[in-house]
Amino acid sequence: MSAASYAEIMAQRLGILQRSTGLNYASYARGTIAFDYRGLFEDTGYDLETVQKVQSTTAVGNTPLVELHNITALARTIAPAGKGARIFVKDEAANPSGSFKDRRASLSIHAAGQAGYPGVVAATSGNYGAAVASQAAKAGLRCIVVQEAFDSEGIAQPEIAEKTRACEAYGAEVIRLSVGPELFYVFLRVLKETGYFNASLYTPYSIQGIETLGYELAQQVRAATGNFPDMVIATHAGGGNLTGTARGLRKAGATGTEVVAASVDLGGLHMASNRDFNRKSFTTGHTGFSLPFTTWPDRADVPRNAARPLRYMDRFVTVSQGEVFYITEVLAALEGMERGPAGNTSLAAAFALAQTLERDKVVVVQETEYTGAGKHPIAQLNLARQMGIDIRRGDPAENVPGECIVIPVHPAQIAARPVDLDQVRRSYLRNALETLPENGLLSEDDREFLAEETRIPPEQLEAVIDELQ
């Protein structure tokens, strides 16, 4: 690509993104930073009941809630006396393409069809590509998936290769790229040249599709136990999973449920680095995405991101790669459920956090995903060895992302390590203030928006802003 063509496309990005979503994002601007978050959702025209009807036509949703009796029993053997909450999992692998991403794809594809777009485009290396391809096939729409797939040596992560295979199996065209900044450029160029719909992970359609997950989960737990769940743990990457689930919980009336974000700790690895690309064993649900998207959600492929995780999370924890590999094997060996890595991130956190709660409490892991040859721990660990990463059994606290993966020798070694949400909120505010023009001032709309975004009381927010400025 030439520098001129890159500059030309990037200069048109806002127009391309607006045309490809059918949403006039500029109309939601309020002040310099603020935008009408509620209006963005209301104007789609989809309420929860309508979304459920749309999803029922393509066999999406109504997935089973499974109590993990054996894993709960294991947690209780190492928990303090009287501790060890019941652990449930929402088995989203039962969706058509094998993950909760079918929920967010279903409404996006429906919206594209209703608006008359001839096809859809998604930029993703994960399960979402397969979900979009699957739903597009059902709707008779053409589909293109743009993937960041391999490093400069042509080495592809087995998990991404598995998802390429799935996308192509559903009839999608897959454009595979090496790691680097060209992904967004190619994505924009494809949208412009095809006139297809932008099935972004971050449109309101995508988030509304996940609301049914939180709603179903709340209703199923209440039917099984008599109460709403005490804690729901969501694997956290870009924020849509947590945002949609939390919004669905609230619509079900589960306002007292604690919402916990869980990510794999990949601290020290840069997601856009060619060197680091294959030195991580997880392509999603890790801090390389979750921290940047929590501290500034609008680094997305839409003008304003409908996923705002900081509004909804009550707690944020991390687990290590080795702990997730360990709990993946535990799930298969004790519960007879072989599932992929992303959902098992929140399962590892749930195993640790359940030990801190009374036995009559309920903890729910809100999603699973299908597994396959490329997503299996053996495939990931083989690539890690190829990249020179030391893999050993021991204390997972010794894990160093990109250097060594330490797999626990005992379940008591699994821990959920807290992320300081106050620091995350400050980072968000710092990023927001940096978008102000020179000598620019915050409007009342801006201040109200920032208070809602960070959940900092207005009187405290003023003091933090003054300090940061």
Looking up residue 9, the CATH number of its domain turns out to be 3.40.50.1100
pLDDT of amino acid 2: 53
Residues of the chain by 3-state class (helix, strand, coil), percent to 5: 50, 15, 35
Report yes or no on 25 lying in a domain. no
> What tens-digit pLDDT sequence spans the chain (469 residues)?
455 588 899 999 999 999 999 999 999 999 899 999 999 999 999 999 999 999 999 999 999 999 999 999 999 999 999 999 999 999 999 999 999 999 999 999 999 999 999 999 999 999 999 999 999 999 999 999 999 999 999 999 999 999 999 999 999 999 999 998 789 999 999 999 999 999 999 999 999 999 999 999 999 999 999 999 999 999 999 999 999 999 999 999 999 999 999 999 999 999 889 999 999 999 999 999 999 999 999 999 999 999 999 999 999 999 999 999 999 999 999 999 999 999 999 999 999 999 999 999 999 999 999 998 899 999 999 999 999 999 999 999 999 999 999 999 999 999 999 999 999 999 999 999 999 988 788 999 999 999 999 999 998 999 999 999 8
Q: Which two tokens stand for residue 349?
A: 């956190």
- Within 8 A by CB and 6+ apart from 110, the residues are 54, 139, 205
> What are the E-state strand segments in 265-408?
315-319, 362-365, 390-394, 404-408
Domain end point (choices 398, 418, 438):
418
Pairing between β-strand 315-319 and β-strand 197-198 as defined by DSSP bridges: unpaired
Token digits of residue 14: 């806002």
Same domain? 193 vs 236 = no
**Domain that residue 295 falls in:** 55-96+206-418
Q: Can you say how many angstroms the Cα of residue 51 is from the centroid of all Cα atoms in its chain?
A: 20
Task: List the beta bridge partners of residue 391.
Answer: 405
Whether residues 188 and 220 fall in one domain: no
CB atoms within 10 A of CB 325: 25
Residue 147 sits in the same domain as residue 287: no
Looking at the structure, do residues 376 and 266 belong to the same domain, yes or no? yes
Q: What pLDDT shows up at residue 411? A: 98
Question: Rounded to whole angstroms, what are the CA distances from 455 to 3, 39, 312, 434?
Answer: 42, 19, 9, 20
Say how many C-beta atoms besides its own lie within 10 A of residue 389's C-beta. 20
Residues 344 and 241 sit within 8 Å (Cβ to Cβ): no
Residue 33 covered by a domain: no
Please indicate, yes or no, whether residues 124 and 268 belong to a single structural domain of this protein.
no
**Cβ proximity of 229 and 217 under 8 Å:** yes
Cα–Cα distance list, 443 to 34, 35, 431 (Å): 9, 12, 17
Domain-located, residue 253: yes
Are 81 and 147 contained in the same domain?
A: no
Give pLDDT, residue 181.
Answer: 79
Distance in angstroms (rounded) separating the CA atoms of residues 189 and 141: 19
CA–CA separation, 104 vs 110, rounded Å? 10
65 φ, ψ (degrees, to nearest 5):
-100, 125
**CA trace torsion 154, 158, 163, 169 (10° rounding):** 90
pLDDT number for residue 272: 84
Question: Is position 36 within any domain?
Answer: no
Q: Are residues 215 and 339 in the same domain?
A: yes
Residue 339, in any domain of the structure: yes
Any domain includes 48: no
Contact between 183 and 123 under an 8 Å Cβ cutoff? The reply is yes
Are 82 and 220 members of one domain? yes
Predicted TM-score (pTM) of this structure: 0.97
Same domain, 399 and 338: yes
Residues 6+ away with beta carbon under 8 Å from 77: none
Is position 63 within any domain?
yes
In this structure, are residues 287 and 262 in contact, taking their beta carbons and an 8 Å threshold?
no
**Which pairing describes strands 197-198 and 231-235: parallel, antiparallel, or unpaired?**
unpaired
| Same-domain pairing of 279 and 389 | yes
Residues 166 and 254 in one domain: no
**How many independent structural domains does the chain possess?**
3
219 with 324, same domain? yes
Q: Is 82 left (phi over 0), alpha (psi -120 to 50) or beta?
A: left
CA proximity to 165, closest of 377, 374, 384, 370: 374
Nearest CA to 202 out of 308, 61, 91, 344 is that of 308
Say if residues 66 and 342 touch (Cβ distance below 8 Å).
no
Count, in order, helices (H) and strands (E) of the chain. Answer: 18, 13
Residues 144, 110: Cα–Cα separation, whole Å = 16
Domain end: 204, 232, 256, which one? 204
Domain boundary among 174, 204, 234: 204
The number of beta carbons lying within 10 Å of the beta carbon of residue 214 is 30
* CA 248 – CA 208 distance, rounded (Å): 8
- Quote the CA–CA distance of 252 and 159 in Å, as a whole number: 35
The verdict on residue 22 lying in a domain is no
- Which DSSP symbol is given to 63? P
